[in-house]
Amino acid sequence: MKKIQISPSILSADFSQLGNEIKRLEVGGADLIHVDVMDGHFVPNLTIGPPVIKALRKYTNLPFDVHLMINPVHKYIKDYAKAGSDIITIHPESTQNLKNSIKEIKDLGKMAGVSLNPDTPIKTILKDLKDIDLVLVMSVFPGFGGQKFMPEVLKKIDELNQLRTKNNFNYKIEVDGGIDFTNSKKTIEAGADILVSGTTIFKENDGDLKKNIEILRNS
Ligand code: DX5
Ligand code: ZN
């Protein structure tokens, strides 16, 4: 039985209490903490940078699953690694040389993720799949929490799952955006190993984090 991991996105947390919110997520059974970094350029929203990640590091030992929606990303990879990221996920559109950026992340001792927007085909990263630890499949266009899940990405998840099996690749498949209690099961069935969720985890069942994490994990 595949163990599904839950990576709550702190984009939906109380930004005035991020340290305590991260502790609440750990107590609630989160496997990772999804940190959405946005620069107001690659995506039309601006969130947090390395100093905040550094400040949050002492609140948990859970892996920081850092999603960099910034461009150009190569200038900042080292800063996010030093701040305490464990997984650094980048978008192919934000680097001149994806292979080099993946190598830089791994040389820094971090897990390398690559994120595919809904309109970015798998062929964009086909030659890199052997080198990456995680594929982050976006089920919304990045920038904001609370958007509607795009079911057309289920096909992409299934294709990544088949490619992984056929070629003996090792990447994890993480899905991010609009994940809720109505689509989590089919997302897992398509091949997802890790589910990102912000709105559903923080808002459903009066914000009962433990309950919402459990429901998603056992979908
Ligand atoms: C969107 C972010 C997602 C988002 C998920 O750009 O990458 O991680 O915060 O939030 P929900 O679960 O609310 O869609
Ligand atoms: Zn994200």
70-79 pLDDT per residue, tens:
999 999 999 9
pLDDT in tens, 92-129: 999 999 999 999 999 999 999 999 999 999 999 999 99
Percent of the chain topping pLDDT 90 = 99
Specify the pLDDT at position 182.
98
**Ligand 1 probe mutation, 176, 179, 182, 183, most atoms within 8 A of CB:** 176
Residue 199, pLDDT > 90, answer yes
pLDDT in tens, 153-172: 999 999 999 999 999 999 99
Q: Are 116 and 124 in contact (CB under 8 A)?
A: yes
Ligand 1 mean position, distance from CA 150 (Å)? 12
Ligand 2 mean position, distance from CA 36 (Å)? 5
Mean pLDDT rounded to a whole number for the chain: 98
pLDDT in tens, 46-89: 999 999 999 999 999 999 999 999 999 999 999 999 999 999 99
Ligand 2 mean position, distance from CA 166 (Å)? 28
Specify the pLDDT at position 2.
84
Q: By residue range, what is the domain housing residue 154?
A: 5-217
Q: Does 176 participate in catalysis according to the annotation?
A: yes
Q: Does 128 participate in catalysis according to the annotation?
A: no
Specify the pLDDT at position 24.
98
Residue 211, pLDDT > 80, answer yes
Burial class (CB in 10 A: 0-12, 13-18, 19+), 177: buried
Q: Are 175 and 194 in contact (CB under 8 A)?
A: yes
| pTM score, whole prediction | 0.98
Q: Are 48 and 77 in contact (CB under 8 A)?
A: no
Closest CA to 159 of 133, 191, 196, 188: 191
Domain total of the chain: 1
* Catalytic member of 36, 39, 65, 133: 36
Percent of the chain topping pLDDT 70 = 100
pLDDT confidence of 1, banded at 50, 70, 90? Answer: confident
CATH code, domain carrying 205: 3.20.20.70
CA distances from 97 to 123, 163, 193 (A): 15, 23, 27
